[in-house]
Structure 1
Amino acid sequence: MLAHLGGIVLGFIAPLVVWIMYKDRDEFVKDQSQEALNFQITLAIGWVVAVVLSFVAIGFLLYPVLWIGGLILSIMGGMAANRGERYRYPFALRLIS
């Protein structure tokens, strides 16, 4: 749960720390921190694209979508992890496996 919700404030740092610390201890925590890390990396890529597109005045439209989408999906992931369910983020690139 900390990996999902920590991403709201700390970006990819919180899931990265949880993944590094617990990847050899608990399979569920490893899976969920890995999923949260992949989502935060995907979100960071989205922010970079939005900033680049801001130079042609399109990227500003992506800012609220990325912010609200990241917030809602991270909360949904945290709630699912709290219930003991595995959560898969839609649209997340699976870069860390």
Structure 2
Amino acid sequence: MGVAVHLASFSGYLIPFGSILGPLIVWLMKRDEIAFVDTCGRNCLNFKLSLVVYVFISLILAFVGIGFILLGLIAIADIVLTIIAAMKASEGESYRYPLSIQFLKAR
């Protein structure tokens, strides 16, 4: 289920706000039953919410020109780091995303 939390974020490429809603749904359904899902869900949601902040900053910087490069880097980092997190979760390890703002604190 930890892998499902991370991979559910790829729904954001098909559904608006799916990168947040997908992991949120899986996390809310299983967080009380499985502690590992709670940890994975918090880490994933913190990263995805951080990405939203970074995208807004990049959109503002797009008027200067550098924002377009940052948007590309954010998209690549999203895909690569989510795959790494899913692989770590499949091994039973909790992965803490780099540059993630801690909106949801650990219990």
TM-score by length of 2: 0.85
Asked whether 1:5 is paired with 2:7, we answer yes
Which blocks of at least 5 consecutive residues in structure 1 are unaligned?
Answer: none
Name which of 40, 44, 48 aligns with 1:40: 48
Indicate the residue corresponding to 1:75 in structure 2. Answer: 83
Deviations 1:50-81 (A, max 9, x none): 11111121201101110001100000000000
Cα RMSD (Å) of the superposition? Answer: 1.0
Which blocks of at least 5 consecutive residues in structure 2 are unaligned?
Answer: 13-18
Higher RCO, 1 vs 2 (CA within 8 Å, ≥6 residues apart)? 1
Question: Which piece of structure 1 moves more, 34-43 or 13-22?
Answer: 13-22
Percent of aligned pairs with the same amino acid: 33
List structure 1 segments (4+ residues) > 2 angstroms apart after TM superposition: none
2: CA distance, partners of 1:70 / 1:64: 10
Indicate the residue corresponding to 2:16 in structure 1. Answer: none
Indicate the residue corresponding to 1:17 in structure 2. Answer: 25
Indicate the SS of the match to 1:12.
Answer: helix
Letter of the structure 2 residue corresponding to residue 4 of structure 1? H
Q: CA deviation at 1:8?
A: 2.5
How many pairs are equivalent?
A: 97
TM-score by length of 1: 0.93
